[in-house]
A and B are shown apart, each in its own frame.
Chain A
Amino acid sequence: MTKNATFERPQTGQSASLELTHALTQTVYREARMLDDENYVGWVKMLADDLLYHMPGIETRYRRDKTDQVNDLTRMAYYNDNLEEIKKRLSRLETGTAWSEDPATRYTHIITNVEVEMTEKEGEYQVFSNFYAYRNRNEREEDSLIGNRVDIWREAGAAFQLVKRRIILKHNVLLSKNLNIFL
């Protein structure tokens, strides 16, 4: 499996219609609900076959350091997954032996600041959003993951499929014991 070297995304800056914006906003809300419900069967159906799901790891650097830690796909990334790899992660959960997931983690994904733009490609749209993902587990374990996303969604029949997602998490030291969550 070969992967691209850079995360490419459109720069049209052209807002989508009210109707499209509404449809895609509802789509990312629906996706968040599926993740909250651990409805991974439903979630995978929202993912395109050529998916790129990318969360780069970002070090603290001085402003004068111009290293591109965000778009360079050859750098370290907590997620740099295609659809097959996402399915491998899900298959671990389905084995019934992922002990750290039982009792279940309680999730809430809050999605805000949604903007929808047209792209150069017919039927593909760029969607910006922010997320606040809250997790609570066992008695008092909790953590909050906050960040930005930029997605490409593609029309697929009456619905949309996620083609590309870049997630920028704001942590340097991850202040929780894993990133076992889809954002």
Chain B
Amino acid sequence: MDVSDLVDTTTGRQKRTIYSNEELYKQELERIFGRCWLFLVHTSQIPKAGDYFRTFMGEDDVIVIRQKDGSIKAFLNSCTHRGNRICRADRGNAKAFTCNYHGWSFAPDGSLAGVPLENEAYFGELDRSKLGLVQVTHVAEYKGLVFGCFDPDAPSLEDYLGDAKFFLDVWLDAMPGGTSLLGETQKMELGSNWKLPVENVCGDGYHLGWAHAGAMSAVQSMDLAGLSVGNSSTNLEGGLSVAGMNGHMALTSLDGISGYAFYPEPKPMMDYLEANRPTAIERLGKVRGEQLWGSQINITIFPNLQFLPGLNWFRVYHPKGPGKLEQWTWAMVENDMPDEMQAAILDNQCLTFGLAGLFDNDDGDNLAACTEQSRGWRTAQMDVFTNMALGRSGPRDGFPGDIAAGLVSEHNQRYFYRRWQEHMQAESWAEVPTYNINSLSVEEPENA
């Protein structure tokens, strides 16, 4: 389908049909989820050989498993004989995956290791070497985050992430011990198109003071870029909306502490930040170490990964049709954090953005209703808008990306829909533009 008229990033307009159209959804599975690098697992979730984790790439069920040599492979969770699901657990440790249907057995490296009655019934004529599990084309890791990609022509993961690494490293590389994801997967089905929560988290600081007014009243303990209950004020100098990094986005405050604004008892976190600030500055430099590490940062890796240093939740959205998604959430910690602090983070993540979380209650309701209101004959033809602060972006010293001031702007959402449109229009990776706007690497003095 031609999507050139469905999104207009110069005016900040989208047609509502993009949230409900079945045909567009199928095109998304092919051109976005079949083409982009997708988050699979954090290395901390499968530390030992044989440890596996089940996830989805688009609607494809995938097993990610640690190999004997420490590397990680990913396979379609489907028997090559009759297509049955070969693994039914969310995670575990396996020496082999044996299909429940006829007993075909696959080794952790995906090879077909055993076939019952192979000689008696197949007369020894089965070519087992051609019937191993179907491997995800590319699997690569960036500092603990493991991604997979189905498209053989995709750029490398490093190139795909581009300048978003500037922000990724604020979480993944600030401390020498690295990071982990904690806890059982918190899974929720929501009657929302998958783009709506991504758009909400990637750039929508506007909804916070209004949609979450009740939750903010209950748990907010410090200022967050001047955002206030009831949306009565904001401080545009207190934050940045950063986009133009190959479709990835960051929304960040700049005070180095307000990530913990929604912790009712932030004192232990403030002590940790203060004690480790010199380390963060040494590893990340002054701008990121002082202004970003500890700040509230919403990081979005296109198309469906989002994580928030500070609030410390980490989330992927798996599409389940145009009007449905599954949201998977974990708590995330730096391994250098003391045990009690890690426990407090897990607790607070569940209290705020868990299934019973104070904030998630509000979002689910709104996003589901936005999806429903795009289904009618008349509403599907209508526009929705992300036109706040149009044309008010540019470069900033010390930061990559095209940047708008403040957390309240719809700058990032426009870039999200721009990337969506670019992928949906492109026949292959060769037609997908690469851009790292205002990249720091070309502005370094040694290049001058």
Contact = CB atoms under 8 A, between A and B. Distances in A.
A177 B88 CA distance: 24
A78 B354 contact: yes
Contacts of B190: 177
A179 interface: yes
Interface stretch (A8-16, A28-36, A61-69, A126-134): A61-69
B350 A78 contact: yes
Given A1-B265, A78-B350, A178 B90 contact: no
Interface string B198-238: 00000000000001011101110000000001100000000
A6 to B, nearest CB: 13
A69 B89 CA distance: 14
Nearest to B229: A97
Q: What interface size band does chain A fall in?
A: 35 or more
A41 to B, nearest CB: 17
B185 interface: yes
Interface in B124-167: none
A18 interface: no
Contact of A76 (B91, B182, B213, B364): B182
B284 interface: no
B361 A180 contact: yes
Given A59-B90, A85-B351, A100-B365, A95 B217 contact: yes
Contacts of B230: 97
Contacts of A59: 89-91, 184-185
A1 B343 CA distance: 11
A3 interface: yes
Contacts of B330: 76
B375 interface: no
Interface residues of B, number: 47
A159 interface: no
B425 interface: no
Contacts of B187: 172-174
Contacts of B191: 177
A80 B347 CA distance: 7
Interface in B156-194: 182-191
Contacts of B215: 92, 98
A153 B229 CA distance: 38
Contact of B89 (A60, A77, A177): A60
Contacts of B358: 88-89, 92
A59 B364 CA distance: 22
Contacts of A85: 351
Contact of B356 (A69, A172, A178): A178
A172 B90 contact: yes
Contact of B184 (A2, A58, A81, A92): A58
A100 B356 CA distance: 13
A75 B188 contact: no
A93 interface: yes
A151 B331 CA distance: 28
A76 B343 contact: no
Contacts of B89: 59-62, 65
A175 interface: yes
Contact of B350 (A60, A80, A99, A180): A80
B346 interface: yes
Interface of A: 1-3, 55-62, 65, 69, 74-81, 85, 88-89, 91-93, 95-101, 172-180
- A-B pairs, 7 with minimum CB distance: A76-B183, A98-B214, A177-B364, A97-B213, A179-B356, A100-B365, A59-B90
Given A89-B218, A173-B187, A178-B355, 9 more contacts: A56-B184, A60-B88, A61-B89, A93-B214, A98-B215, A100-B365, A100-B366, A175-B189, A178-B360
